[in-house]
Amino acid sequence: MQQFLALSVVAPNGTRIAQGVKTLEVCSWVPTELPLKDLLIVENQNFLINDDEEEGIAVALVDVASIHVWQNDEIEPACATSWSEGYFAWVLSNVRPLKQKLKVQAKRKIYQVALDFP
């Protein structure tokens, strides 16, 4: 089993990240440490408001080397429908889609996932 840090995103954004279409993830918070290497992207169906968990699908591994204040000209790379002040853009790089989609828990913020890659 391998341990990964994971970030859950609402569908279809995990798929967009895995395809390289979405190059910025927009969050209202920043992680305590950077860079984040081999961050597991988990796609789930609902925006997670509480600390509840739901089932998600691991879709890709990415690196996050930098985070900046989200700018109003970054709607397209974030695959957003509109812009709002007060958010942070996580720059996603080294995107590696997973060949096999694996069911894992989806949680808020950054969390640990143990995966057994075949």
CATH number of the domain that residue 21 is part of: 2.30.130.30
> What value does the mean pLDDT take over residues 16-35?
96
**pLDDT averaged over the chain?**
93
- CA gap 67, 41 in Å, rounded: 16
CB contact at 8 A, 61 and 96: yes
* Position 111 confidence tier, pLDDT thresholds 50, 70, 90: very high
At 68, which amino acid appears? H
> What value does the mean pLDDT take over residues 56-74?
97
Can you give the pLDDT at residue 42? 96
Has residue 115 been placed in a domain? no
Strand order in the sheet with 2-10: 24-27, 88-106, 54-69, 36-44, 2-10, 110-115
Enclosing domain of residue 21: 2-105
Can you give the pLDDT at residue 52? 66
Has residue 62 been placed in a domain? yes
Has residue 97 been placed in a domain? yes
Has residue 114 been placed in a domain? no
Has residue 44 been placed in a domain? yes
Has residue 6 got a pLDDT over 80?
Answer: yes
Can you give the pLDDT at residue 118? 59
CB contact at 8 A, 108 and 54: no
Has residue 50 been placed in a domain? yes
* Position 50 confidence tier, pLDDT thresholds 50, 70, 90: low
* Pairing, β 36-44 against β 88-106: unpaired
Six-digit token string for 49? 């408001």
Number of domains in the chain: 1
Has residue 37 been placed in a domain? yes
Can you give the pLDDT at residue 35? 96
Has residue 29 been placed in a domain? yes
> What value does the mean pLDDT take over residues 11-36?
96
